[in-house]
Structure 1
Amino acid sequence: MLIRRIKKEDNKNVEKIIRDVLTEFGGNREGLAWADPELSYLSEVYKKENTAYWVAEKDGKLVGGCGIGPVEGAEGVCELQKMYFLEESRGTGVAGQMIEKALDFASNYYDKCYLETLSNMKAANRFYQKHGFHKIDKPILDSEHYACDVWYIKDLK
């Protein structure tokens, strides 16, 4: 599988992947990435030097993606954002490759990486723990993703 930076022409497909996966896990509601207004133009959102979004492509078809962006109000902390993969790509190792790429990138700009998720995404929770994230009791700041019920943090330095 090819892992590369998002391009403008990927926006529609990435939005569909995110919405499809959220629907699969009951996350098609307010308080989650489902309601994020920027879902339609992620290639524009991740243009700053300290941000990035990658997509995974298999045989010309996008199967997943993830991003890194700052946590506004928490100095030195980034967030692993919008990491979603279609069922067909889960278990292939591509998510592991992508998170390593994302965390390597993040370590150039940040000291810690934070993420928010749902408890019913059991495989994702195991995946994050396997990759060195530690569960915390509450979000580090209030966010628009108030429906998330699990939070993690990882030291990057």
Structure 2
Amino acid sequence: MKIREIQEKDNPFVAKIIRENLEKHQLNLPGTAYFDPELDQLFQFYHSRTHANYWVLVNEADEIVGGVGIAPFQEHLAELQKLYLVEGVKGAGYGHKLLEYALLYAEQHYQGVYLETSSILAKANQLYLRNQFISLEQPLGATGHTLMDTWFLRLF
């Protein structure tokens, strides 16, 4: 497995992984990433912003099995976005590897990283807590993900 930057050809594969994960947890609803207008054009979205990027995890056949993004959020803060994996690789440490990769990038450009998620995604929430994120009582701002009920922050 290797991590590389998203390419334009990757757009439909990444969008499919994200949608399938959200459908599995009945989160294919307005107010989640499922309906983000940029979901089908992540390459363009991340490459049109300063200090933003999206990385994909690919297997030996160069098939995308996961991804993660960092984008500007508020002054001096980035937002960790769209960390998802296909079912077949979950539980093998690849979520941690993607998170670590994104945090190393963010640390070069920001003072911290914010993220929003759902309490339904318990394993993801455990990953964030194990990686020095602190739980917040409320969101730090409006991202459009109104159904998210769990918020984290990690300062560098």
Q: How large is the RMSD of aligned CA atoms in angstroms?
A: 0.9
**Which string of whole-angstrom CA distances, capped at 9 and with x for unpartnered residues, describes residues 101-146 of structure 1?**
1001001111010000000111001011011111000000122001
- SS of the residue corresponding to residue 109 of structure 2 reads coil
**Which string of whole-angstrom CA distances, capped at 9 and with x for unpartnered residues, describes residues 43-65 of structure 1?**
01111340010000113221110
Q: d(CA) in 1 for partners of 2:87 and 2:68?
A: 15
* Equivalent of residue 67 in structure 1, options 66, 69, 77: 69
Q: d(CA) in 1 for partners of 2:76 and 2:86?
A: 31
Q: Identify the residue that residue 140 of structure 1 maps to in structure 2.
A: 140
Stretches (4+) displaced over 3 A: none
User: Where do 5+ consecutive residues of structure 2 fail to align?
Assistant: none
**Which string of whole-angstrom CA distances, capped at 9 and with x for unpartnered residues, describes residues 74-107 of structure 1?**
2101000011111111111111111111001001
Q: d(CA) in 2 for partners of 1:143 and 1:66?
A: 17
Task: Name the % identity.
Answer: 37
- SS of the residue corresponding to residue 108 of structure 2 reads coil
Q: d(CA) in 1 for partners of 2:44 and 2:112?
A: 24
- TM-score normalised per structure 2: 0.96
User: Where do 5+ consecutive residues of structure 1 fail to align?
Assistant: none
Q: d(CA) in 2 for partners of 1:96 and 1:75?
A: 26
CA contact (8 A) 2:78 2:114 kept: yes
- How many residue pairs were aligned? 154
Q: Which letter does structure 1 place at the counterpart of 2:44?
A: E
Q: d(CA) in 2 for partners of 1:84 and 1:98?
A: 9
Q: Identify the residue that residue 21 of structure 1 maps to in structure 2.
A: 21
1:154 aligns with 2:140: no
